[in-house]
C-alpha cells in the first residue's frame, strides 16, 4: 500500500493544488499538517484541543467525513482510503484558522483490491464494493501490537502463506498494559500507534484483515477513560487512524464481567458508527456469546467464544447475522481434538478464529486450518447452511448444488440429496489430502464409506459443472430465509421439568431439566440452550447452560436489586433442524 503525504507550506501559507500522486483505491492516504509556533503554543495537547476534519467527495458523488488525529509533536493527520477511482475533492474544517476552509484534490486509481468487509446473505461475508465472497479464517495474536518485530514479521509472512484472512489482537493490551498505548486518559503514545500502523498495514498487505479489540474488558476501558467524553475522543482517534485500513471492530475482549457491560458496548458501538465512514463490521468479544447486543442496533455480527457446539448451532437458527467463534479450540487440546473442534465449528455455521501459538506459527493446527480454507475455497461457502437430512455425520449444504459432511470417525454416512449427478470428493482431515472418486454419483440418497476406516473425514458432493455456470450469477443464487421459531406450548416436543421451584437463588443455583414428550424422528437428537435475563436491569440475556439437564450458571452481576423477576428462555433444536422456544418466569434472590 502506498502512503501519500500532503504538506502545508506553513511559512508561505500556500495550499498545494495537487497534494498527492495517484493512489490505488482502498489504500490509505495521509494528508498531513504541521502546527506553527503560535498554533503549537495555543494547543499544547493537540489530542485534546485541535478539531480537524475533511469532507471528501468522490467522482460518484459519495462523501466521506474523516477526522484528523494527532501523530506526535506538531504533526496532525487526516487519513482516508478512496473507494472510487477518479478525482476526489475535499474541504477542510478546523479550529485552526490557517487550515479552515482549505480545499484540494486527490486522484485515485483502480486497484485489484476487493474492498472492505461487510455482512451479507444473512450469515456470510462479502467485499463491500466488489461483492466478492469472503472466507473468514482467523487466528488470535493478542500481543501483535507489541511482540518483537522479528517475531511479528515471521508470523505475518507465515500466516499469509497459510491462507489466513484474519488476525485478532488487543489494542490496549492485557490488563495493566494499557499505558504502553496511552500514557494517560488524554495522552496517546504516538510511537506506539505509528508501530501499530505499520503492523496493521503489513497484515493487510498479506491479505489479512485485523480484528481490532479496543480493550480487554470493561474495567480496562472505564479505568483508562472514566467519562464518556474521554471514551468518545478515544474512539474518534482510533477510528480516524484505522478505519481507512482493512479491519473489523471488537469493542471489548469480553463484556459480561462489567456491571454496565451492555451499556458500555452500546455507547462505544455508537461512537464507532459515528466515526467510521466505512462502517467496518462491529461486535464484541465475549465469555460465551455477544448476541445480547444485537438488538441494540450497533452490532452487525456475533462473536462466540466456546467449544460447546450447542451455542453456535442454536443461535445460528435464531439470529440473522454472521457468527465468528474465537474460542472453539487452542492447540493445547491436541491436534486430533483441534481438528474435530474446527470442523464441528464449521458445521455449526460459524467462522473459525483459532487460538494458535504465535511463536510457532508453522504448527499442525495451522496446517489443519489451511486444509479447511482450501476445501471451502472449492465451494460456494457463502451459501452453505447447516443441513440435517444426514446420518453418520454433520453437514452443510446448498441444497441441490453441493453438500459437505463431516465425520468425526470413519464410518458409513447416509445423506438425502436432490436428485442429480455429483462429483464425489473425500478430504482426509489428518493429512489434508483430497481424493476424487473416479465415478460420480447419481441419485437422491448417497450412502458411502470414507477411503480409510480410521481418522476423521469430510465428504464433498459437488455439481462442479453447475457451480461453474453459477459464477456469473449474483452473489447469492437463492434467498436465505430464517425459520420461524415455534413457541406454541402445544407444539413443543419437550417439557421443562426443572427448575421446579418458583424462587431461584444465585448462591444456590438450581438444577435444570428438559424432557422429550415422545420419541420421534425429530426428537432422536435434541440440543438445548438455556438463557436467562432480568428485564428491568436491561443487561440482556446470559447463557445459563446447555443440554437437557445440569446446574444453572447464574452470573452474580445479573441484577443489582433483589428480589428480581427472572426470565428463563429455553431454546431447542431437533434432529431435523426445527427450532423451538419456551419461557419460564421465576423470582431471583441472592
80 and 19 part of one domain: yes
pTM of the model: 0.95
Those residues with Cβ within 8 angstroms of residue 488's Cβ, 6 or more apart along the chain or in another chain: none
DSSP state of 308: -
CATH number for the domain including 448?
Answer: 2.60.40
Task: Write down the pLDDT at residue 131.
Answer: 83
pLDDT in tens, 478-498: 999 999 999 999 999 999 999
28 and 103 part of one domain: yes
Task: Write down the pLDDT at residue 473.
Answer: 67
Question: Omega of the bond prior to 4 within 30 degrees of 0, cis?
Answer: no
Task: Write down the pLDDT at residue 475.
Answer: 87
pLDDT in tens, 529-568: 999 999 999 999 999 999 999 999 999 999 999 999 999 9
% helix, strand, coil for the chain, step of 5: 25, 35, 40
DSSP state of 115: -
CATH number for the domain including 41?
Answer: 2.60.40.10
Cell of 405: 459432511
pLDDT at 38 exceeding the cut of 50: yes
pLDDT in tens, 158-209: 999 999 999 999 999 999 999 999 999 999 999 999 999 999 999 999 999 9
Task: Write down the pLDDT at residue 432.
Answer: 97
164 and 225 part of one domain: yes
How large is the greatest C-alpha to C-alpha distance in the chain, in angstroms? 86
pLDDT at 15 exceeding the cut of 90: no
CA-CA-CA-CA dihedral for 503, 504, 505, 511, to nearest 10: 140
335 and 357 part of one domain: yes
**Total tally of structural domains belonging to the chain:** 4
Q: Which residue is associated with the grid cell 472466507?
A: 135
Are 326 and 353 within 8 A, CB to CB?
yes
152 and 128 part of one domain: yes
If DSSP codes are grouped into helix, strand and coil, which group holds residue 296? helix
Are 467 and 563 within 8 A, CB to CB?
no
436 and 549 part of one domain: no
484: in domain: no
pLDDT at 252 exceeding the cut of 90: yes
363 and 420 part of one domain: no
288 and 252 part of one domain: yes
Burial string for 359-374 (b: 16+ CB within 10 Å, else e) reads eebebebbebbbbbbe
- What does pLDDT average to over the chain? 95
Rounded CA separation 494/514 (Å): 6
CATH number for the domain including 554?
Answer: 2.60.40.730
105 and 125 part of one domain: no
Q: What would the mean pLDDT of 492-512 be, rounded to a whole number?
A: 97
Q: In the chain, pLDDT over 90 holds for what percent of residues? A: 93
417 and 313 part of one domain: no
Instruction: Name the residue range of residue 512's domain.
Output: 489-589
With left for phi above 0 and alpha for psi between -120 and 50, is residue 548 left, alpha or beta? alpha
pLDDT in tens, 206-224: 999 999 999 999 999 999 9
Nearest to 129 by CA among 143, 146, 112: 112
249 and 297 part of one domain: yes
Amino acid at each position: 500500500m502506498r502512503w501519500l503525504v500532503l504538506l502545508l507550506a506553513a511559512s508561505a501559507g500556500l495550499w498545494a493544488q495537487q497534494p498527492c500522486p495517484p493512489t490505488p483505491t482502498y489504500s490509505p492516504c495521509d494528508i498531513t499538517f504541521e502546527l506553527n509556533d503560535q498554533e503549537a503554543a495555543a494547543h499544547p495537547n493537540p489530542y485534546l484541543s485541535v478539531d480537524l476534519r475533511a469532507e471528501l467527495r468522490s467522482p460518484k458523488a459519495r462523501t466521506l467525513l474523516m477526522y484528523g488525529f494527532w501523530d506526535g509533536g506538531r504533526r496532525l493527520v487526516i487519513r482516508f482510503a478512496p473507494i472510487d477511482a477518479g478525482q476526489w475533492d475535499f474541504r477542510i474544517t478546523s479550529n485552526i484558522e490557517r487550515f479552515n476552509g482549505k480545499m484540494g484534490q486527490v486522484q485515485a486509481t483502480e486497484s485489484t483490491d476487493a474492498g472492505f468487509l461487510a455482512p451479507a446473505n444473512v450469515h456470510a461475508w462479502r467485499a463491500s464494493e466488489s461483492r466478492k465472497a469472503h472466507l473468514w479464517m482467523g487466528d488470535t495474536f493478542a500481543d501483535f501490537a507489541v511482540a518483537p518485530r522479528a517475531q511479528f514479521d515471521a508470523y505475518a509472512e507465515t500466516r499469509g502463506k497459510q491462507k489466513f484472512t484474519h488476525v485478532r489482537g488487543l489494542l490496549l493490551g492485557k490488563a495493566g498494559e494499557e499505558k504502553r498505548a496511552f500514557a494517560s486518559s488524554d495522552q496517546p503514545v504516538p510511537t506506539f500507534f505509528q508501530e501499530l500502523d505499520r503492523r496493521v498495514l503489513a497484515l493487510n498487505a498479506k491479505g489479512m484483515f485485523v480484528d481490532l479489540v479496543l480493550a480487554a474488558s470493561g474495567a480496562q476501558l472505564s479505568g483508562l477513560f472514566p467519562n464518556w467524553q474521554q471514551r468518545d475522543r478515544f474512539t474518534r482517534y482510533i477510528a480516524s487512524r484505522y478505519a481507512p485500513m482493512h479491519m473489523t471492530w471488537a469493542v471489548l475482549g469480553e463484556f459480561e464481567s462489567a456491571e454496565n457491560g451492555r451499556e458500555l458496548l452500546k455507547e462505544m458501538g455508537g461512537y464507532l458508527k459515528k466515526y467510521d465512514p466505512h462502517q467496518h463490521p462491529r461486535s464484541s468479544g465475549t465469555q460465551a456469546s455477544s448476541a445480547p447486543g444485537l438488538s441494540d442496533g450497533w452490532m452487525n455480527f456475533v462473536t462466540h467464544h466456546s467449544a460447546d457446539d450447542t451455542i453456535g448451532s442454536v443461535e445460528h437458527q435464531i439470529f440473522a447475522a454472521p457468527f465468528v467463534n474465537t474460542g472453539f479450540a487452542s492447540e493445547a487440546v491436541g491436534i486430533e481434538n483441534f481438528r474435530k473442534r474446527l470442523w464441528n465449528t464449521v458445521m455449526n455455521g460459524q467462522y473459525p478464529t483459532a487460538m494458535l501459538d504465535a511463536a510457532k506459527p508453522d504448527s499442525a493446527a495451522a496446517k489443519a486450518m489451511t486444509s479447511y480454507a482450501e476445501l471451502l475455497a472449492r465451494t460456494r461457502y457463502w451459501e452453505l447452511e447447516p443441513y440435517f437430512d444426514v446420518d453418520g455425520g454433520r453437514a452443510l449444504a446448498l441444497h441441490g448444488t453441493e453438500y459437505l459432511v463431516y465425520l468425526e470417525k470413519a464410518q458409513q454416512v447416509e445423506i438425502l440429496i436432490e436428485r442429480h449427478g455429483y462429483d464425489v470428493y473425500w478430504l482426509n482431515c489428518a493429512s489434508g489430502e483430497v481424493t476424487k472418486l473416479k465415478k460420480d454419483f447419481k441419485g437422491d440418497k448417497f450412502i458411502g464409506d470414507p477411503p480409510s476406516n480410521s481418522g476423521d473425514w469430510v465428504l464433498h458432493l459437488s455439481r462442479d459443472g453447475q457451480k461453474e455456470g453459477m459464477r456469473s450469477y449474483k452473489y447469492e443464487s437463492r434467498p436465505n430465509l430464517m425459520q420461524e421459531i415455534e413457541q406454541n406450548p402445544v407444539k413443543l416436543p419437550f417439557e421443562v421439568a426443572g427448575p421446579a421451584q418458583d424462587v431461584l437463588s444465585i448462591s444456590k443455583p438450581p438444577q435444570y431439566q428438559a424432557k422429550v414428550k415422545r420419541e420421534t424422528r425429530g426428537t432422536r437428537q435434541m440440543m438445548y440452550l438455556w438463557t436467562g435475563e432480568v428485564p428491568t436491569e436491561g443487561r440482556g440475556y446470559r447463557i445459563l447452560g446447555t443440554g437437557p439437564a445440569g446446574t444453572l450458571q447464574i452470573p452474580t452481576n445479573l441484577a443489582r436489586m433483589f428480589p428480581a423477576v427472572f426470565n428463563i428462555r429455553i431454546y431447542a433444536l431437533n434432529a431435523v433442524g426445527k427450532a423451538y422456544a419456551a419461557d419460564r418466569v421465576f423470582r431471583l434472590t441472592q
